[in-house]
A and B are shown apart, each in its own frame.
Chain A
Amino acid sequence: MTDAPAISARALRVQFGEREVLHGVDLDIYRGETVVILGGSGSGKSTLLRTMVGLEKPHSGEVRIGGVDLATASEREMDSVRRRIGLAFQGGALIGSLTVGENISLPLLEHTGLNPSTIDVMVRIKLEQVGLSGFEHYMPSQLSGGMKKRAAFARALSMDPEILFFDEPSAGLDPIMAAGIDNLILNLKEAYSMTMVVVTHELASAFLIADRIVVLDRGSIVAVGPAKELRESTHPRVRQFLDRVPDSDSDDEVDHLRLFTEGA
């Protein structure tokens, strides 16, 4: 970890129409660390991820990647930021009209002047890293959910990004496949010491891969800390999430009051 954060969010508010989804989020993510953003459905974790990669514009506040404020960046600046990040989407989001290999080579073809044979080799290396060797000629529709996610990882890795984002990497996978994905992230972490931001609601996987965990609840951060520290947290919402306790009505009211007093 070094001085300047790779990603920093300050008083970040995002709203869709009249509905505010993130209520002033402050977060620093440092180079080389793996941060897991943990939260339930509708907690705003996916919105936070989309805002950090510039797919959603903040309503107020700022997000900076490598010092560039995404809200005010020009198209050109945005492009240079985007070339330094990779995002693996939840459903893969592979381009359906291209083969797996073409999907992975796409950013290389578009952004580098590398010759096709070099790109071919790079595609094969990336596919091998995610355990999909030999699948470059398959169409995305021929792959299973887990394979799509792996192929999406390979594409996110193709430009050797400084920061890698994962949206729900193990959601919807069987436990064996999910463990495989966790392993993959751990391997990447060891091999490249990349900055990684993982959005998930899978507790086991979060504690396994995270250097730090951020718990997001109803659009606000309720806890940030190393995995071990978080496991011992006494914050009621964190405990509830970790102990898998369902919401009760009174809890809801208390939390709403808290949101009004702290979040506003």
Chain B
Amino acid sequence: MNPAMRYLVIVGDASEAAFVYTGGLAQLFYRSVLALFASPLKRGRSLERAIHQAKLGGVGAVPIISLIAFFIGVILALQGAYELRTLGAMQLVASLVAISVTRELGPLITAIVVIGRSGSAFAAEIATMRVTEELDALETMALNPVTFLVAPKFLAMALMLPCLVIWADLMGVLGGSFFGVLGANFTFASYMTATRDALVLRDVMTGLVKSIVFGLVITAVGCQEGFSTGPGAEEVGKSTTRAVVISIFVVVVVDLVFTALFYATQGAA
């Protein structure tokens, strides 16, 4: 086989693997949706579990997301001011922060924190259950692991991510206002007015739409990595790491695709 052919084979194999992987994620999602529309008894129990997951993965993430988003807001304002000052356009700091946080950084930072907290936990939980035969035990009790474990997680994440993103948006803007008030001659009220004038509903909405998809991706990758773990404790660790790395990558890809779509449908960035 000549070198060019060999590269072609490598690319082909990798593409196939990527398609198979994405197919697996989609199948997990599809089976979870079916499970959520199953019998009312099961749906009720799934809801209970989803609320439990939402508390763990959503409410528990509020403090750290608040802190990170606030700092990101301050950093954005500082970085923006550095350039805007030379143009004598310091009043634009508020809109710079507002638009970058709501459209991009709020959802992205939230997704990355949630990957670190929940995506990894999903992978570790399911992988451990595979190793300790708990998944087999569920199956022998006629409980489908997807219905029991995955469907509630999808539901919880699809609901919690947008909520967390709204919160992160607010904290980011507050971070920006911290700099605005101390370093850019804004009052808190004038900063907030400037922020409100800079934003249109679409800015926030695109961020929220993306965040729902991020939530689904994080759940799907975390659970898939958990299910496909090998025997032994070190495999659990490997699955967890893979879940985090792959989730971050897929979230960025999804972000790119959606941002491009929003750009194409609106015409303006």
A residues at B contact (CB < 8 Å): 50, 53-55, 78-80, 82-83, 85-87, 89-91, 93-97, 106-107, 109-111, 113, 155, 159
Q: Are B142 and A53 in contact (CB under 8 A)?
A: no
CB distance from A141 to the nearest CB of B (A): 11
Cα separation A85 to B140 with both chains bound (whole Å): 8
Per a CB cutoff under 8 Å, which of A87, A97, A107, A155 touches B125?
A97
Complex interface: chain B residues within 8 A of A79 (CB): 142
B240 within 8 A of A: no
Q: Which of B126-142 contact A (CB under 8 A)?
A: 128-129, 132-134, 136-142
Residue on B nearest A87 in the bound complex, by CB: B140
> What 3 A-B pairs come out closest when comparing CB atoms?
A82-B142, A93-B137, A93-B133
Asked whether B45 is an interface residue with its Cβ less than 8 Å from the other chain, the reply is yes
Contact residues in A for B253 (Cβ distance below 8 Å): none
Query: In whole angstroms, how far apart are the Cα atoms of A102 and B261 in the complex?
Result: 47
Partner of A93, one of B41, B134, B143: B134
Residues of A within 8 A of B143 (CB): 106-107, 110
CA distance A27 to B139 in the complex (A): 24
B residues in contact with A53, CB < 8 Å: 140
Residues of chain A contacted by B133 (CB below 8 angstroms): 89-91, 93
B143 nearest CB neighbor, chain A only: A110
Bound-complex Cα distance A111 to B142 (A): 9
Which chain A residues border B134 with CB–CB below 8 Å? 93-96
Partner of A96, one of B41, B129, B138: B129
What is the interface residue range for chain B against chain A? 10 to 19
Q: Which residues of A contact B196 (CB under 8 A)?
A: none
Count CB-based A-B contacts (< 8 Å).
58
Check B140 against A55 for contact (C-beta < 8 Å).
Answer: yes
Is B42 in the interface zone, CB < 8 Å from A? yes
Nearest-neighbour CB distance to chain A for B128, whole angstroms, equals: 7
A142: shortest Cβ distance to chain B, in Å? 15
Chain B residues near A91 (CB-CB < 8 A) = 132-133
Tell me whether B141 and A82 are in contact (CB under 8 A). yes
Closest A residue to B140 by beta carbon equals A87
A89–B132 Cα gap in the complex (Å)? 10
A106, B141: Cβ atoms under 8 Å? yes
Q: A91-B132, A96-B128, A96-B129 are in contact. Are A110 and B45 (CB under 8 A)?
A: yes
Nearest CB on B from A41, distance (A): 16
Q: Contact between A107 and B136 (Cβ–Cβ < 8 Å)? A: no
Provide the bound-state CA to CA distance between A85 and B134, in Å. 16
Whether A55 lies near B136 (C-beta < 8 A) is yes
A106 to B145 Cα, complex, angstroms: 13
Interface pairs (18), CB distance under 8 Å: A55-B139, A82-B139, A82-B142, A86-B140, A87-B137, A89-B136, A89-B137, A93-B132, A93-B136, A96-B129, A96-B134, A97-B125, A107-B142, A110-B42, A111-B142, A155-B137, A155-B141, A159-B141
Cross-chain contact of B45 among A107, A109, A113 (Cβ < 8 A): A109
Q: How far, in angstroms, from A89 to B136 measured CA to CA in the complex?
A: 9
Q: A90 to nearest B CB, angstroms? A: 8
Q: How far is the CA of A155 from the CA of B138 in the complex (A)?
A: 11
Nearest A residue (CB) for B147: A110
How distant is the Cα of A113 from the Cα of B39 in the complex, in angstroms?
12
- Binary interface profile of B, 84-102, with partner A (CB < 8 Å = 1, else 0)? 0000000000000000000
> B141 to chain A: which residues have CB within 8 Å?
82, 106-107, 110, 155, 159
Q: How far is the CB of A138 from chain B (nearest CB, A)?
A: 17
Q: A82-B141, A91-B132, A107-B141 are in contact. List 4 more A-B contacts (CB 8 A).
A: A55-B136, A85-B140, A110-B41, A155-B137
In the bound complex, how far is the Cα of B42 from the Cα of A82, in angstroms?
17
Query: Which B residues touch A55, using CB under 8 A?
Result: 136, 139-140
- Once the chains bind, are B142 and A83 in contact (CB under 8 Å)? yes
**How far apart are B174's CB and chain A's nearest CB, in angstroms?**
36
Nearest CB in chain A: distance from B231 CB, A: 12
CB distance from A86 to the nearest CB of B (A): 8
Q: Once bound together, how far apart are the Cα atoms of A170 and B132, in whole Å?
A: 18
